[in-house]
Structure 1
Amino acid sequence: MAAARSGSESGTGTRQRQRERSDATVEDLLTAARALFAADGYAATSLDAVCERAGVTKGALYHHFAGKRQLFAAVYAREQLRLSDVISAAYLTAAEDPWRALYEGCRAYLEASLDPEVQRITFYDAPGALGWEAMRDLADNCREMTRRGVERAIRKGAVAPGPAEPLTSLLYGGLSDAALAVVRAEDPRTALAETLAQLRRIFDALAVRD
């Protein structure tokens, strides 16, 4: 029995080490791919370059990803999670006021659009590499955060009662288009300031006054 347990424990340990090595390989690939996609763009980045930067073989890459599009999709999904963290941190700075907190989250998202690496991955390359439908699915976490913020503001009486979904769609869709407009503007910083001023007016107009 002791020998059987020892063999079982050894097998479990081996599988655990294999998972750890596999996870480390994926992490190396995503880190390398993100750096190259952000610097050179999707079209100019080769899988050979990703493998060289990550220090892995082409076979190791294909073990985890079917090709460049799937690798880019994983990088894009991770980028959306990173943006979600930025939005959440901004939201929490004003969490006691749910409508102001939602504004702060929206502001943080728009400000993040000034990052050249975010621009390259999210706004320039993702539409062509993935398509809008796939982008929407992979960015669902950001939209869900917006919906939860809207629901909380309605529940707390910070905005007028009503269904959350239409307001969520208006805010999320408008922000996505506004961020793209900021990125493409001749003077992005001025465009951002103007956009935030208008966003503040919209939030103020919708807020319930005591």
Structure 2
Amino acid sequence: MQATKTRRSNKDRTDATRADLIAAARKLFTEKSYAETGTPEIVAAAGVTRGALYHHFADKQALFRAVVEMEAKAVAAEIERAAERFDENPGIALLAGSDAYFTAMRVPGRTRLLLLDGPAVLGRAALDEMDLRHGNRTLREGLAAMMDAGLIRRLPVEPLAELLGAAFDRAALAIEAGSPTDDYLTALHAIIDGLAQSAK
């Protein structure tokens, strides 16, 4: 029994150290950028040793990848929470998920991490692969549900999700730069409505 408690305690400490490193790194990466942030700053902000950093992450890039993955998961979770309220209507669910994407991307630093520094540091292929598990996955599922319900004509889901996803990302960047959110929502809703019209 004591050994079990010790193992659990060790895991809790390990998880807490990892979480502290990710949180400290996220703050610094968004405030200063990846390039301008050094590992000594990260470990100081996290209150851990340099050895602890390299115990959990191979290098600064690996830590950055963990930060970006965490942000991508958070965005996908926001989309899913919004869409699942309308499971009975895939069209409304997709629109609700679209709105939720922009809400999620308003979290300070998220656009920079996912759409600017992420591709620059990790490479476009790595970000695309990550997106396939998170944001793009929710979009693919939403589009497939609309096709299955006969709400839009059947099209290749992967390319359609990729193209729409790029439009969402471009809109998020424009909104971050000060463009009106409602204008982009209106345009993207019109694109989705257009897909629905093509099924009639």
**Does the residue aligned with 1:28 lie in a helix, a strand or coil?**
helix
Equivalent residues of 2:151, 2:196 under 8 A apart: yes
Asked whether 1:172 is paired with 2:165, we answer yes
Q: From 148, 151, 164, give the equivalent of 2:144.
A: 151
Cα deviation for residue 151 of structure 1 reads 1.2
CA deviation after TM superposition for structure 1 residue 177, in Å: 3.0
Q: Give the gaps of 5 or more residues in structure 2.
A: none
Q: Is the 8 A contact 1:154 1:161 kept in 2?
A: yes
1:100-158 deviation per Cα after TM superposition (whole angstroms, max 9, x unaligned):
21122122213433443112222231122111111112222211111111111111222
TM-score with structure 2 setting the length = 0.88
Q: Tell me if the contact between 1:48 and 1:58 (Cα under 8 Å) persists in the aligned partners.
A: yes
TM-score using structure 1 length: 0.84
Say whether residues 1:66 and 2:58 are aligned partners. yes
| Counterparts of residues 1-210 of structure 1 (less than 5 Å) | 9-140=1-132, 141-183=134-176, 185=177, 187-188=178-179, 190=180, 192-207=181-196
Answer whether contact 1:76 1:138 (CA < 8 A) is retained: no
Letter in 1 for 2:153: A
Amino acid at match of 1:16: R
Tell me the distance in 2 between the aligned counterparts of 1:137 and 1:11: 39
What amino acid does structure 1 have at the position aligned with 2:139? T
Tell me if structure 1 keeps the 8 A contact 2:75–2:105: no
| Structure 1 letter corresponding to 2:124 | W
| SS class of match (2:36) | coil
- The size of the alignment, in residue pairs, is 198
- Structure 2: how far apart are the matches of 1:129 and 1:176? 17
Identical aligned residues as a percent: 36
Structure 1 segments unaligned to the other structure (5+ residues): 1-8
Helix, strand or coil at the partner of 2:109 = helix
